[in-house]
Amino acid sequence: MGGVFCCCSDPVNFDGEVDLFHFDLHRAVGKGAFGKVRVVEHKKSKQLYALKYIDKAKCIKQKAIANIIQERRLLEEIDHPFIVNLRYAFQDDENCFFVLDLMLGGDLRFHLERKGRIEENVVKFWMAELAEALDYLRKQRIIHRDLKPDNILLDAMGHAHITDFNVAIHYSERRLHTSVAGSMAYMAPEVVGRKGYTWCVDWWSLGVVAWELLFHRRPFDGRTSEKMTNSIMKDPIKLPSNVNEICSAECQDFLRGMLDRNTKTRLGCRTRGQGIEDVHTHPWMSSIDWENIRNKDIQPPFVPDMKKANFDVSHELDEFMMVEKPLTHSKRKAHPDLEKMKPELRQLEEQFTVYDFSKNNRMSYYPHNQPIVTSINQDDEEPSTVLQSATNTLLPTATIVDRSQARSPSPDHDHSQAQPMAMTGQHIPRLSAS
């Protein structure tokens, strides 16, 4: 009697270090500078996650190794209801992998383009959730630096979560940063003016996001980086002529408070050491039950339509059309010789370490990533320290030349370049320079 042979993959060792073999690969849902984001399922727990994978060769070519390691370290420190949290991190010979909370509700850019404008009550709800996330990051000594609609994801219920920590950094109470990083239209004046900045820049960016969601345009404009900088630094905060038809007087006051060029009086930054009490007590937020917000006990006023794809479905086609090499499970070379590796690959090997949230406690790398500092004096403040660069190597500076990128989104704005769950947004050039 002839034997029956079956082609089966090797059994997965779930007690060993996590790797790609622990997951089944499903559909692609986003695309970034160095790789894609796809839905994966943990073979043992059956839990769904988002897998962000980064091509090492592309990463080295764009001199972004330090960013990837920085993001890996920062994500290990973070665990919050309104942040896309890291669950696993590992690598194979070609890619570095982040396994993150899955958000199938799409990004806020996607919904803004689809709806044209977001209702005031919905924006208020998201602002409450995102304020809690920013206050948490401040307590963790982290500045996100790239808050924008593209980097805020909804879960299936409609709760908002901050993602993409690619240019995020630690800050110090006594040191200011001057490196320019993020997406220019959302940068605070102290960033574009290179005055030295700290965590308050994220609250300005949140104010720009709220403005854009409400009015489907941004408060500052410019066709070149120079004009954009001038607008952010000097232009008066001018609400649309029909603002009273769109939102309440309390909402308008909230927007002005967040877009205050003085960091000492900016909403979210006013009360030294008291977190976000000024946000909690603002008249616009008077109806918010903060305890229920923190516990996700409030039904979101906007629920994504889960019968439709809340992302650009063209990401899936690339592999089918053989535009790029599909992701596959592949075993690592046994015992790689670190001495013979390129310095960048060796750095990844040594510093992009394995993380498994079911086995490892979260830990802080602060102040591990603080570079050498220089002292300066500022006219109106006590002597401060300025960090000239946060991560040694950042992405090359992008120049805004394309009108559609620098200006507000138009109704026919092409959303095909958006990445609902990916590493970088393409709508506004991301800037990073020391």
| Catalytic residue list | 146
Torsion of CA 345, 346, 352, 353, to 10 degrees: 140
Does 46 count as an annotated binding residue? no
d(CA 320, CA 322): 5
Cis peptide before 300 (omega within 30 of 0): no
SS3 of the chain: the string is CCCCCCCCCCCCCCCCCCCHHHEEEEEEEEECCCCEEEEEEECCCCCEEEEEEEEHHHHHHCCCHHHHHHHHHHHHHCCCCCECCEEEEEECCCEEEEEECCCCCCEHHHHHHHHCCCCHHHHHHHHHHHHHHHHHHHHCCEECCCCCHHHEEECCCCCEEECCCCCCEECECCEEECCEEEEHHHCCHHHHCCCCECCCHHHHHHHHHHHHHHHCCCCCCCCCHHHHHHHHHHCCCCCCCCHHHHCCHHHHHHHHHHCCCCCCCCCCCCCCCCCCHHHHCCHHHCCCCHHHHHCCCCCCCCCCCCCCCCCCHHHHHHHHCCCCCCCCCCCCCCCCCHHHCCHHHHHHHHHCCCEECCCCCCCCCCCCCCCCCEEECCCCCCCEEEECCCCCCCCCCCCCCCHHHHCCCCCCCCCCCCCCCCCCCCCCCEEEEC
Q: Residues annotated as binding site for ATP?
A: 52
Tell me the binding residues: 52
